[in-house]
Amino acid sequence: MIFKGSAVALVTPFLETGIDFETLGKLVEYHIENHTDALVVCGTTGEATTMSDDEQLAVIKYVVDKVQKRIPVIAGTGSNDTMHSIYLSQEAERLGVDGLLVITPYYNKTNQSGLKIHFETIAKSVGLPIILYNVPGRTSMNLKPSLVAELAKIDNIVAVKEASGDLAQVAEIARLVPKDFAIYSGNDDSILQLLSVGGSGVISVLANVCPRETHDLVQKFFDGDIEGARELQLGMKPLINALFIEVNPIPVKTAMNLLGFDVGKLRLPLYQMDDKNLEVLKQELVNRGFKL
């Protein structure tokens, strides 16, 4: 298992001229200090699809060098082009990451047979452990439980990030896969529910803003404090709703800037929040105890 607990789907700080590595370094230390269990870089929340390959690999290298094996670093290397994903995966392996997050193809999509060959081909190209990433709301592709079970037979496909929002599907995956195959929540509003059917943790947007609480939610569950975990899940739900009031990562990056992290602008086509939604986000941050 690459990690157990809470991994942050890390935002990427931008300057007008490129990556803001100074702020990125501060974010890395902030998460380690606040008990985040792993870092996921260059994923959806990190705006990887707006980054050049050189930028993406530079971010991966910087974070790996900064972390120095204190916690696992997982790189998003997925693409709708299998060969491009192989290139990014091999480069990330060369740079020293601990694992890869590989999304289902998007836009050109495929069928379930094509999905199987896509992931098999990528897995064979590297020695690193791979987390499958299922988020049908973004890709219009659903990784079915039966296919997850088939892919779990491949030695270095060790986990799935499940962001379908379908807890019945999550339960079916848990029923079909080996016990050592990790299932991570990709939905912050249902971390506890996923843990209850055998999940191993979360890859979290919320953790950008509430790293310690997100870690604690998962840890309390594993420690048997189900009531404590429930209180955290339900207590943070209004903020979670606000962080997804517009497409991710628009609200979370806005929240980070409101809280003084200075992570810079979003890259087009992502754009600033509508005023009405911004007021909702501000209010929920205040309700959660943050000072703006």
Active site residues per annotation: 133, 161
Q: Are 249 and 205 in contact (CB under 8 A)?
A: yes
d(CA 237, CA 246): 15
Q: Report the b/e string of 105-143 with b at 16+ CB within 10 A.
A: bbeeeeeeeebbebbeebbebbebbbbbbbbbeebebbb
Q: Cite the beta strand spans of 104-156 per DSSP E.
A: 130-134
Q: Are 128 and 90 in contact (CB under 8 A)?
A: no
SS3 149: helix
Q: Are 75 and 60 in contact (CB under 8 A)?
A: yes
